[in-house]
């Protein structure tokens, strides 16, 4: 039995090895085990865009993310529940993490109105009105049958005044308490998790305050939210430097919506266990490949007559078997297969990067691994033909 | 060795069984054997839209079609040649049939000017000017490394005056001679074919005249063009009734751009061996599934909470393993996976339909097969839940 197949009746987290602050862990639950550090492909509306779920799994994903905001609007949480839950609906029988919906209410919906109670908004699809409260967010995530649920929080864009960051952070803490209460009414809550979300913007003191208040709630995991929202990488890393030490060692830590391969490795070095990001899937649909030697823009004319693959040493057919010339042609022609192949390649690269990180931490060689990855990115792509 | 793996150094066609006018044959060439009756998936611009080539092959396709018009504009015939030909470029090592480009010059390009020499036109992509002559069309098809090439012809929309139909048909005959001469300059022409194209619109006498003139040219195969261009099905079938008997028994017959499952079975009964059509792929991208029980529009709200698959008895995962509710959701949400799954389903259905036809002809039971298929289409889809 491989590690990913090991499950536990209750949700448990084990740190199996550490190297500096980097952690090699396993988050186990009835539907499977998430090997950490983990990158979670984003399955926004019940599909990882342009991928078959079998491919996503075969690349090494132990968990995917579903977006509460998208799914509550279409097809609707009650409908997904009636159809057997999100795992059954989307044909992904392995762990699923859902966000709270809050982030996308703020970024996508219209006529938002925020109060202590929650947030009302209009659907970006058809303008119909919804209310999302902490309790409703958790209820929706339960209807989706989510294994790892998120508290509703208020995530603000940076830069922002400290008073505004503090107000949103304090509101998020009060919502965390309400979400925890709602979560504990789920009959099988032992088999699942509800994570609290550390907020506090780019303010170290507020981050520390938020982390400690959430720690006192004794939640099953801790997300770090409100980063990668416009601030420089150094600010994000500085926030991780002050936040991670405040979080309990024995609980998983999830940095939301991050990021580039470099963001991931630097965050792992600071003690982060889990990531999600649309970058590999979105970039793939827009003609960009992530490889061991950095990003490649397949739209570029330099690839038009290049018979070489993206990376002949990759195990992923998309990276190994298709010429750059063909990928260039598909991207330029807006052919679906272009997005399919580049998404496949990019998710493969992200999973390989995480597998490498896990192996390196077990071998107590994480710093070397980071240095080797950085050197390869800096070397850059092979010269043009 | 299965039949599809048998090849021959020269291109050969064998009729292995007949049932009435329906023929079960094998068109063999170095890259593989096409089992006929055959449906050829359309790989317009070097990709069968939203499909991996491995999937296309696994469904039973022995040959795909490439569009000369699209490929000459982008990435360009000389470029494809430099990259090893279309088989290598698109990763399809099996037989490829190409059209002449003429049909799409007429339907897609701007500022067309037709003369005895050929046709000049502007690209629909960037407005650049091209000339397509019979000789250049064959040259392009050779650069693409096409196994089965088409003569350049003039295909006109119906209805049209007889004089216009006759003019275009006679021009097409003169172009057939020029294409044959050009084809015979290809060093390995014995391993390939150039098909002539019967024209003559909806006029029986002109169809007969065209077929006989082409027969006299002793070509390796005969296409029937200029049908399914707006006329009723009965007109198309009447043209097949007069055309097929004029064509040599020992040569393959290809009905271009046709059609619905019903069109295919009725045409096979009249002696047609090969088909291509964008219907299954295009319909799939637009939310329509072809099944044993007719067409299903997945956009329809009746599917929104239907957990049943399209066809639980299909061997195709897209038909068998995904709920209609999920397909409905994907189509409504414009998710790439919707088009991927429905295209897969539709190509699977078309290949299964042809496999059934081949089996039935071998068993001298083609009429029964046709009747059984028609009865199932008429029964229609399962009742809504």
What local confidence, expressed as pLDDT, does residue B286 receive?
Answer: 98
In a mutational test of the B interface, the residue from A41, A80, A83 whose CB has the highest number of chain B CBs within 10 Å is: A83
Q: Once rounded to an integer, what is the mean pLDDT over residues A180-185?
A: 98
Q: Dig out the tokens for B379 from the structure.
A: 């029964």
What is the ipTM for the molecules in this complex? 0.98
What local confidence, expressed as pLDDT, does residue B5 receive?
Answer: 84
Contact A49 B321 (CB under 8 A): no
Q: Does A339 touch chain B (CB under 8 A)?
A: yes
CB count within 10 Å of CB B128 equals: 9
- Of the candidates B82, B335, B340, the beta carbon closest to that of A45 is on B335
pLDDT-based confidence at residue B2 (cuts at 50, 70, 90): confident
B276 in catalytic set: yes
Residue ranges of the annotated binding site of A for substrate are 99-103, 153, 199, 226
Q: Does B81 touch chain A (CB under 8 A)?
A: no
HEC readout, chain B: CCHHHCCCCCCEEEEEEEECCEEEEEEEECCEEEEECEEECECCCCCCCCCCHHHHHHCCCCCEEECHHHHHHCCCHHHHHHCCCHHHHHCCCCCEEECCCHHHHHHHCEEEEECCCCEEEECCCCCCEEEECHHHHHHHHHHCCCCEEECCCCCCCCCCCHHHHHHHHHHHHHHHHHHHHHHHCCCCHHHCEEEEEECCCCCHHHHHHHHHHHHHCCCCEEEECCCCCCCCHHHHHHHHHHHHHHCCCCCCEEECCCCCHHHHHHHHCCCCCEEECCHHHHHHHCCEEEECCEEEECCCHHHCCCCCCCCCCCCCHHHHCCCHHHHHHHHHCCCHHHHHHHHHHHHHHHHHHHHHHHHHHHCCCHHHHHHHHHHHHHHCCCCCC
Q: How far apart are CA A373 and CA B257, in angstroms?
A: 51
What percent of chain B has pLDDT above 70?
Answer: 100
- Of the candidates B47, B51, B79, the beta carbon closest to that of A305 is on B79
B311 in catalytic set: no
Question: Residue A129, class by beta-carbon neighbours within 10 Å (0-12 exposed, 13-18 middle, 19+ buried)?
Answer: exposed
In a mutational test of the A interface, the residue from B52, B54, B81, B329 whose CB has the highest number of chain A CBs within 10 Å is: B329
Give Cβ neighbours of residue A187 (< 8 Å, ≥ 6 apart): none
- Closest Cα in chain A to B306: A83
Q: What rounded mean pLDDT belongs to chain B? A: 97
Q: Once rounded to an integer, what is the mean pLDDT over residues B295-304?
A: 98
Which are the catalytic amino acids of A?
Answer: 99, 276
Closest Cα in chain B, distance from residue A68 (Å): 15
What local confidence, expressed as pLDDT, does residue B110 receive?
Answer: 82
> Has residue B108 got a pLDDT over 90?
no
Q: Dig out the tokens for B254 from the structure.
A: 């290809």
Question: Residue A19, class by beta-carbon neighbours within 10 Å (0-12 exposed, 13-18 middle, 19+ buried)?
Answer: buried
What local confidence, expressed as pLDDT, does residue B106 receive?
Answer: 86
What local confidence, expressed as pLDDT, does residue A227 receive?
Answer: 96
Residue B100 is assigned to a ligand binding site: yes
Q: Once rounded to an integer, what is the mean pLDDT over residues A151-164?
A: 94
- At B216-263, the pLDDT tens digits run 999 999 999 999 988 999 999 999 999 999 999 999 999 999 999 999
Q: Establish, for the pair of chains A and B, how many residue pairs have beta carbons separated by less than 8 Å.
A: 96
Q: Dig out the tokens for A79 from the structure.
A: 């409908």
What superfamily in CATH does domain B35-277 come from? Queuine tRNA-ribosyltransferase-like (3.20.20.105)
Domain with CATH 3.20.20.105 in chain B: 35-277
Closest Cα in chain A, distance from residue B198 (Å): 32
What local confidence, expressed as pLDDT, does residue B1 receive?
Answer: 74
**For residues B80 and B86, is the Cβ–Cβ distance under 8 A?**
yes
**For residues B109 and B123, is the Cβ–Cβ distance under 8 A?**
yes
């Amino acid at each position: 039995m491989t590690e990913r197949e090991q499950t536990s009746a209750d949700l448990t987290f084990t740190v199996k090895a550490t190297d500096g602050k980097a952690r090699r862990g396993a988050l186990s639950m009835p539907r499977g085990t998430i090997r950490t550090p983990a990158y979670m492909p984003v399955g926004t509306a019940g599909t990882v865009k342009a991928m078959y779920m079998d491919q996503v799994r075969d690349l090494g994903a132990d968990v995917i993310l579903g977006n509460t905001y998208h799914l509550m609007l279409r097809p609707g949480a009650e409908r997904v529940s009636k159809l057997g839950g999100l795992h059954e609906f989307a044909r992904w029988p392995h762990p699923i993490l859902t966000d709270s919906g809050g982030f996308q209410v703020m970024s996508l919906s219209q006529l938002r109105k925020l109060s202590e109670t929650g947030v009302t908004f209009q659907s970006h699809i058809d303008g119909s009105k919804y209310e999302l409260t902490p309790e409703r967010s958790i209820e929706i995530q339960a209807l989706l049958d989510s294994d790892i649920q998120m508290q509703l929080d208020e995530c603000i864009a940076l830069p922002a005044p400290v008073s505004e960051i503090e107000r949103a952070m304090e509101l998020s803490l009060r919502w965390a308490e309400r979400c925890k209460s709602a979560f504990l009414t789920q009959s099988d809550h032992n088999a699942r998790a509800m994570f609290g979300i550390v907020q506090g913007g780019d303010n170290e003191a507020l981050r520390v305050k938020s982390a400690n208040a959430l720690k006192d709630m004794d939640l099953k995991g801790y997300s770090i939210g409100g980063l990668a929202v416009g601030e420089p990488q150094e600010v994000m890393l500085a926030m991780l430097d002050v936040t991670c030490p405040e979080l309990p060692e024995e609980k998983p830590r999830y940095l939301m919506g991050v990021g580039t391969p470099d963001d991931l490795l630097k965050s792992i070095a600071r003690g982060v266990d889990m990531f999600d990001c649309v970058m590999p899937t979105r970039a793939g649909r827009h003609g960009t490949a992530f490889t061991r030697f950095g990003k490649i823009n397949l739209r570029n004319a330099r690839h038009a007559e290049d018979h070489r693959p993206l990376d002949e040493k990759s195990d992923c057919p998309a990276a190994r078997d298709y010429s750059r010339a063909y990928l260039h042609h598909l991207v330029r022609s807006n052919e679906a297969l272009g997005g399919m192949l580049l998404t496949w390649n990019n998710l493969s690269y992200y999973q390989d990067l995480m597998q490498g990180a896990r192996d390196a931490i077990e071998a107590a060689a994480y710093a070397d691994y980071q240095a080797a990855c950085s050197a390869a990115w800096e070397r850059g792509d092979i010269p043009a033909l």
